[in-house]
Structure 1
């Protein structure tokens, strides 16, 4: 068997390396391969395992063996922009409305908003779960599911958090209308208008809008594309300014896609705990690791961390189901949730419960992680191929966005306007900064089905540059 399995492994490796199988392609099933080649099933499995050891294949449970996404061609990462750290009101977010409107226009190539294309979502399973919820709970779905939300959903979320090393009782979770509302509730619970909030820089523009709407001031902390928020810079900022809260996305931040090392997470939690400064954790991309290993949570290190998340990036943005684990602010958050909008819609909560209960959510994650890794790799390779020399690109370890530093004296606001005139939506760098830094930067969403239309859009962007 040794010679046979090695011969098959070498042959398939040559085919993969020569492009006979592309990243994300599924290899023939073990039984089919065995019958086709007159080999035993054990021989084929051993050959596939050898290819996995060589880093050419990955296994997706109950789905088969797939060609692993190749690492993108090496490109220099974007630089860390360091400026004088000073609290400031949020400005320049008007461009975001154009970006969001473009996301709903089928005539526009969607590279701006971080919204997954329908092909990346389990739409059929969602449809079935919604139908089942409507039939099974006819009376219940017609009524409010008052805060803290559907108990069965909170139980399933609690189990998932426990699997990630984070003990949160179901009674200590509050269901929200997505992660945006969870972040709003968290900041409202721990701050008052005029307070200073430390944030990553660059950061998700939705957080900046929340900060602006609450009358807070943002203190931008330089963030490393590989390891996350600079703790040295944060420590300096804490010694100079009356910071009332800190918001971070330690697992695959948006737009950088960086993963904060565990030692870094421990130091961050300890630093803020020592000063009794509330730490708000946005974990919306935490389930989308390219390595299939679910990274640790800050909440698992200290129960007083306020955890916010949702299924908007993993399962469906349209269901609008998120959650918050508010720790000692539980009563305050529940009351504010009630005052804000009474309740989160009942049917989506029960549909998400069904998807968690029947295993559909986990099966979807096993598939889509590889899909996003492949999509990011393909987009990165295309940018390197078409964009001008000197373009710098982030190397995300999860999620589905890439952060570009453009060469020369480029104004990404002007680029975004010209691109939109040509039917292409991108996210200009300044909207990821409270003070409109990052004029030479832009973010691209890779959660789109690759096609000649996408490729032509990148060629057009390169032409504009």
Structure 2
């Protein structure tokens, strides 16, 4: 396996033995376990309480009431639910998807690993675009170690928003290439511009390459859906999650949207590794999908939280810059410090604050951290004030 970049930054002495992307995420959780009383601005998910009674279906789901459907179903998932997701994606993209374009999986990460297992061969050339989610990057390396292939990591020259350019990507798209990226990006919350993404997809289609789009954080802060017909390509594989969309983190629920022939391939492979489709509480999810005002409501809540957090960050002298996200509820911050992001993370933990260091997303040069800003307003303000004071004390 080869790569343009395979080295992580220097970390604490106790972590140097396993300082690679496949173990750094585990080290992150081990570090957090040492400080159980920390306030959570890292991997935190929104509390249902900030949405009030709007998430009645979610409450019924969590409490295991009548909306559970404990039954086996075909490995692609219940057809009615797949059809409902296809209609949701038609609304979001303008593409006339059907149930044959959709497969239910045990979370976005399982969908990603399934797709890689099906596409990777000894001659496969995987291209990843940094920043990227650490579990995706780790899974890529695990697959290449098992099945063979090569890896190229592209670090954008843009260090302000980490936006990729066509000149940086197109030379790496060959007939055996599999491109993967997060869109919107995790951790920046920025979408790849439509003109750039459409050209990448067109090039993949011309040469017979595949592109995997992890859309787990695709909750736009402004719900102005545009036609995205460029996604309607047999080489595009979209992976989505219900963790953030419907606040079901931990239930490992998601779905894949792709060409029907690919869905059939993925489903057949899935049956020999996972068996039937996961227990996904079909009725509860259908209740979400049949509540059209829910997503605009969630988007508005997230937009307000991001706006509040951005204002507080603009007042912190230790934050040299931050990226205004277009989606989800994370903000990526650059810290005024000569230390790397892992050391900053460890020192913040010691002061009772958990964030996510930028090195987990393969951002290795400057000290960036990712902050989750989806808490009740008074709690969020308190946590961000403590973060600002802690950063000033570093």
**1:219 aligned to which of 152, 160, 168:** 152
Describe the shift of the 1:152–1:115 C-alpha distance in structure 2 as closer, same or farther (beyond 3 A): same
Equivalent positions of 1:131-150 (< 5 A) are 131-134=65-68, 141-150=69-78
Describe the shift of the 1:340–1:267 C-alpha distance in structure 2 as closer, same or farther (beyond 3 A): same
How many angstroms apart in 2 are the aligned matches of 1:88 and 1:270? 29
Larger CA deviation: 291-300 vs 421-430: 291-300
Q: Name 2:177's counterpart in structure 1.
A: 244
Alpha-carbon offset, residue 350 of structure 1:
3.0
Q: Name 1:86's counterpart in structure 2.
A: 4
- TM-score (ref. length: structure 1): 0.71
Question: Retained in 2: the 8 A contact 1:202–1:222?
Answer: yes
Question: Which structure has the bigger radius of gyration?
Answer: 1
**2:273 aligned to which of 316, 340, 350:** 340
Q: Name 1:230's counterpart in structure 2.
A: 165
**1:291-344 Cα distance to aligned partner (Å, 9 max, x none):** 221355476331331111021111021332211124232232112222222234
Question: Retained in 1: the 8 A contact 2:39–2:354?
Answer: yes
Q: Name 2:211's counterpart in structure 1.
A: 279
Where 1:346 maps in the other structure, the secondary structure is coil
Where 2:304 maps in the other structure, the secondary structure is helix
How many angstroms apart in 2 are the aligned matches of 1:421 and 1:208? 28
Q: Cα RMSD over matched residues?
A: 2.8
Question: Retained in 1: the 8 A contact 2:133–2:182?
Answer: no
Larger CA deviation: 153-162 vs 196-205: 196-205
Question: Retained in 2: the 8 A contact 1:189–1:329?
Answer: no
Describe the shift of the 1:291–1:308 C-alpha distance in structure 2 as closer, same or farther (beyond 3 A): same
**1:207-263 Cα distance to aligned partner (Å, 9 max, x none):** 112112213654222345658432111123347xx862001233x211111122222
Would you say how many aligned residue pairs link Structure 1 and Structure 2? 365
How many angstroms apart in 1 are the aligned matches of 2:173 and 2:266? 26
Question: Retained in 2: the 8 A contact 1:312–1:318?
Answer: yes
Describe the shift of the 1:173–1:349 C-alpha distance in structure 2 as closer, same or farther (beyond 3 A): same
Larger CA deviation: 220-229 vs 275-284: 220-229
Equivalent positions of 1:110-189 (< 5 A) are 110-113=40-43, 115-120=45-50, 123-128=55-60, 131-134=65-68, 141-163=69-91, 164-189=93-118
Describe the shift of the 1:119–1:438 C-alpha distance in structure 2 as closer, same or farther (beyond 3 A): farther
How many angstroms apart in 1 are the aligned matches of 2:23 and 2:162? 30
Where 1:405 maps in the other structure, the secondary structure is strand
How many angstroms apart in 2 are the aligned matches of 1:160 and 1:431? 32
Q: Name 1:61's counterpart in structure 2.
A: none
Where 1:203 maps in the other structure, the secondary structure is coil
Describe the shift of the 1:408–1:415 C-alpha distance in structure 2 as closer, same or farther (beyond 3 A): closer
**1:126-175 Cα distance to aligned partner (Å, 9 max, x none):** 133552324xxxxxx33322311111210100111111212222023110
**2:235 aligned to which of 304, 316, 319:** 304
Q: Name 1:448's counterpart in structure 2.
A: 375
Q: Name 1:17's counterpart in structure 2.
A: none
Describe the shift of the 1:108–1:369 C-alpha distance in structure 2 as closer, same or farther (beyond 3 A): same
